[in-house]
Amino acid sequence: MSKSVELTGDWNRLKQVLKQANPKLRSESRRTIGQQLKKVEAKVLGHIDKQDLDWPELNEKYADKKARKKLSPDILRATNQMYSNITTHQPDDFQGAVGVKRGVKSKDGGDLTDIALIHEQPKNDGKKIPPRKLWEPTFKEMKPSIVKALKGIAIEVFKK
């Protein structure tokens, strides 16, 4: 996956408690986390489709180059290769990730995760490519609903 979230607090202890938890809690956790991962994935893909994150325009030279090569004029999409490799990964009942599949190479030989990370740079550093953040604003946008869903896991188990 592309970028990790930094966890604070004693998450190892929480994971240890949850691993010993009731099977219903584990099942509800897996289901809820899986749903939230799919929602984040859909939101990320939607932002690429809608081009609605106020990214800086492509410079004229690069836009012309894309047009000559019959590539998409969209930002973060020359071909659909990165877009089609955005996916979810859920290794267990209590964690998951959304991002670009690791190890997938572009037609030019670049690693797609590197390309995704280049656009997440903190600010315009004066280099060729200005920041065109996709992941950070999407996670900020989705955070309230994710937190609400995760808080509801135990409530759902005890309601049943």
Give the residue from 114, 54, 113 showing the smallest Cα distance to 86. 113
Mean pLDDT, each 10-residue run in order, the chain (160 residues): 61 72 82 96 97 92 93 90 93 91 85 81 68 91 92 71
Q: Name the β-bridge partners of 158.
A: none
- Domain borders along the chain are 25-159
Per-residue model confidence (pLDDT) at position 115: 78
Retrieve residue 30's tokens: 């897996």
Global pTM reads 0.79
- CB neighbours (10 Å) of residue 50? 9
Provide the CA 157 distance to its chain's centre, in angstroms: 28
Per-residue model confidence (pLDDT) at position 157: 63
| C-alpha pair distances (Å), 109 with each of 59, 61, 103, 104 | 23, 22, 11, 9
82: which residues sit within 8 A by CB, 6+ positions away? 76, 100, 106, 112, 115, 116
Per-residue model confidence (pLDDT) at position 40: 97
How many whole angstroms separate alpha carbon 66 and alpha carbon 6? Answer: 36
Per-residue model confidence (pLDDT) at position 1: 45
Per-residue model confidence (pLDDT) at position 111: 86
127: which residues sit within 8 A by CB, 6+ positions away? none
Determine the Cα angle at 111 with ends 68 and 87, to 5°. 100
- The answer to whether the beta carbons of residues 96 and 88 sit under 8 Å apart is yes
Q: What is the CA radius of gyration of the chain?
A: 19
